[in-house]
Chain A
Amino acid sequence: MNNIKKALDSWERKINSKSERFTRSGIPVKVLHTPLDVKGSYMESLGFPGKYPFTRGIHEEMYRKRLWTIREFSGYGDAVETNRRLKYLLQQGETGLSIAFDYPTLLGLDSDDELSRGEFGMAGVGISTLEDMELMFQDIPLGSVSTSMTINGPAAVIWAFYILAAEHQGVSPAELRGTIQNDILKEYMAQKSYIFPPEPSLKLVVDTIEYSSKALPQWNPISISGYHIREAGATAVQELAFTIANGLTYVEETVKRGLDIDDFAPRLSFFFDSSIYFFEEIAKFRAARRIWAREIRSRYKPKKERSMWMRFHTQTSGVSLTAQQPENNIVRTTIEAMAAVLGGTQSLHTNAMDEALGLPTELAATVALRTQQIIAEESGLSDTVDPAGGSYYLEWLTDEMEKETYAYLDRINSMGGVIKGIRNGFFQKEIAESSYRYQKEVEEKKRIIVGVNTYARSGVVKIPLLKVSERYERRQISRLREYRKDRDEQKVRQALNDIQKAAWERNLMPSIISATRARATLGEIVAAMKEVWGEFREQVIF
């Protein structure tokens, strides 16, 4: 090491390129990184894949044994139209399903609610009933495919629809594999699809974790998500720190409910963003695994190794895409997807090139899917475990990400935890600051965006776009009205009353499932819960 130090000193005297460069999180990057930057012992900070602290991956052989799941987020129009797109993607080699819901569904409103006007089927599929759920998965065997559903506020209800749709296919809950996002804390921080106040929302999340640990042992009842925090403007460090803080909050609440760490921690899953600043993203994923394993081990002393695993899904960054020269987005997505693979992701969504303009067309969605297949089959990135590990720069950056994350965790802890931080606007302020700073850097060309603030080209962008036909909405609303006619109203009322009685008293899942059997709609079930729990209004911070 002494020799290296001497040689480095003399090398540094000769270099001129001393201007400062920073990662997107503001970590200063040196001109050159050497073994001197890598502190800590190999066995303690890295170790072996499949072994604590899992920095190099959660599985011994990683992608050699099992490739990440290729899971493209999709959904638009009504259940019937989305069913068509899902089957197309499966035919094209997708290996898992991922459902995007429209805004009314995300907020627990029926498709014919006054507030749903103009929104039906636009940003995802509109689902109001068990029947809609069954139509969406018609001819898709739920016993053999895994489904991820991006749903938060009303996740418990949508999950009940899914469980019963599977039952009607003859598939039992214990056989079901998949994920509900169900991460409400980040909704208050970033994505803003909250319904109820934080306290009852958190109770409902713990209900689902508890229920799945008993009835759906292969299901991931939550996907603790940094993605939306990041897309709302946070840096990679903030994304990581806030996600870990949220994750630890869910664990603590579930343990307080009386569950054993080993009964639910193995089914917790995570979801991160992969943006364009390549090495920082890889470092983030590796640091995430290490921090999570360490915290779970030191706080809860699990017996199962799996309880310390951070399994995660990754999506490439929507914000990094440009409306200008959209074809360039294929390249951005490729770089981001490679970072996710080098970071050891368990599942991946690659964005389509046209997503800064609208929902992806079939062609754009296919190119996105092929991007993953090229990385998987041609690039060789999956041939050896953690191929970027050992890079002086990457290991140093992984340590830096970890250090900065702990600094945030300490701050969150000293302010009294995540819910306090949400209530006093801490997270919202931090995110708004970062996004404002980033925009300034772009305006001042301190950050270059090709085709936007550099190499711009004037003229109108010509690219085919997906149009969501109004036909789907008409079809949906007439189906929904028929559904409501064909039921015993008294049974519905009784089921909704039961939900209200159970709201604070006991696990809500059985009551929600009963209400679904009685043909109550999403909007009706959520409205019943709102009556007991109230609705959340945020204080506006910008």
Chain B
Amino acid sequence: MRKIRVIIAKPGLDGHDRGAKVLARSLMEKGFDVIYAGIRQTPEDIVRAAIEEDVDVIGLSVLSGSHLYQFRRVASLMKQNKIDDVLLIGGGIIPESDKPKLAKIGVSAVFGPGSSIDEISNFINSKCRRLK
């Protein structure tokens, strides 16, 4: 059986990559196929990589406050490229009041500080199984 493929990327300019890196490595240890794209990725870079790597999940981490702009842009590029069946999740410093806005544009879940790896991997597993 094909492993679930996840791309973890940091859109925008912020370099706070601690969470993204720990998550990438932890998901790998849990048996996912993980592509870690790194920092300063444009939404275009991320969607292109997601298509090339044929991923099931896009995970975006933003700690600079620019999440609304970045997530919107990624979501709309996903739609344009007809990969909006790919699960889109996010993490970082994201205020509660922005979560409904993110949900509306297609972000399935936001994992803020203190989220456990199990919580995230269970979520991906349950969603991806349902997608298939």
Contact = CB atoms under 8 A, between A and B. Distances in A.
- Same complex for A and B? Answer yes
Interface of A: 102-104, 106-107, 109, 115-119, 122-123, 187, 191-193, 231-233, 319, 321-324, 356-359, 432, 435-436, 439, 443, 449, 451-453, 460-462, 465, 468, 538, 540, 542
Given A119-B14, A465-B95, 11 more contacts: A103-B66, A109-B13, A117-B69, A118-B69, A122-B66, A231-B18, A432-B21, A436-B25, A439-B22, A449-B114, A461-B96
Interface of B: 12-18, 20-22, 24-26, 36-39, 42, 63-66, 68-70, 73, 93, 95-97, 112-114, 116-118
Contacts of B15: 187, 191-193
Contacts of B65: 119, 122-123, 358-359, 468
B114 A122 contact: no
Contacts of B112: 323, 356-357
A323 B113 CA distance: 6
Contacts of B95: 357-358, 465
A436 B22 contact: yes
A106 B113 contact: no
A542 B12 CA distance: 19
Contacts of B116: 443, 453
Contacts of B17: 192, 232, 542
12 contacts: A103-B66, A117-B69, A119-B66, A122-B65, A232-B16, A233-B22, A322-B114, A436-B25, A465-B96, A465-B97, A468-B65, A540-B37
A106 B68 CA distance: 20
B39 A192 contact: yes
A115 B97 CA distance: 25
A134 to B, nearest CB: 25
Nearest to A191: B15
A103 B14 contact: yes
Contacts of A357: 93, 95-96, 112
Nearest to B17: A192
A439 B23 CA distance: 9
A435 B64 contact: no
A118 B12 contact: yes
A435 B64 CA distance: 20
Contacts of B16: 191-192, 232
A439 B117 CA distance: 9
A103 B114 CA distance: 24
Contact of B12 (A103, A191, A323): A103
Q: What secondary structure prevails in chain A residues at the interface with B?
A: loop
Nearest to A120: B66
Contacts of B39: 192, 538
A452 B112 CA distance: 11
B18 A118 contact: no
A49 to B, nearest CB: 36
A104 B22 CA distance: 26
Nearest to A440: B26
Contacts of B37: 540
Interface centre among B17, B42, B68 (most CB of A within 10 A): B17
Smallest CB-CB A-B distances: 7 pairs: A192-B15, A118-B69, A122-B65, A103-B13, A118-B66, A542-B21, A452-B114
B64 to A, nearest CB: 5
A171 B95 CA distance: 41
Contacts of A116: 13
A322 B68 contact: no
Contact of B114 (A193, A324, A432, A436): A324
B77 to A, nearest CB: 14
A542 B25 contact: yes
B38 A118 contact: no
A193 B24 CA distance: 21
Given A449-B114, A465-B95, A319 B18 contact: yes
A73 to B, nearest CB: 15
A117 B66 CA distance: 8
Contacts of B21: 432, 435-436, 542
Nearest to A122: B65
B117 A443 contact: yes
Nearest to B28: A542
A129 to B, nearest CB: 19
A436 B113 CA distance: 15
Given A104-B13, A322-B113, A122 B64 contact: yes
Contacts of A122: 64-66
A120 B21 CA distance: 25
A123 B116 CA distance: 25
Nearest to B8: A542
Contact of A115 (B13, B36, B64, B118): B13
Nearest to B20: A542
A233 B14 contact: no
Given A118-B12, A542-B25, A323 B114 contact: yes
Contact of A356 (B12, B64, B68, B113): B113
A253 to B, nearest CB: 24
A542 B24 CA distance: 8
A359 B42 CA distance: 24
B62 to A, nearest CB: 9
B115 to A, nearest CB: 9
Contacts of A435: 18, 21-22
A439 B63 CA distance: 18
A357 B96 CA distance: 8
Contacts of A324: 114
A233 B21 CA distance: 10
A439 B114 CA distance: 10
A193 B39 CA distance: 10
Contacts of B117: 439, 443
B12 A443 contact: no
A439 B113 contact: no
Contact of B93 (A103, A192, A356, A439): A356
Given A357-B93, A542-B21, A542-B25, A123 B14 contact: yes
A123 B37 CA distance: 22
A321 B63 CA distance: 14
Contacts of B114: 322-324, 356, 449, 451-452
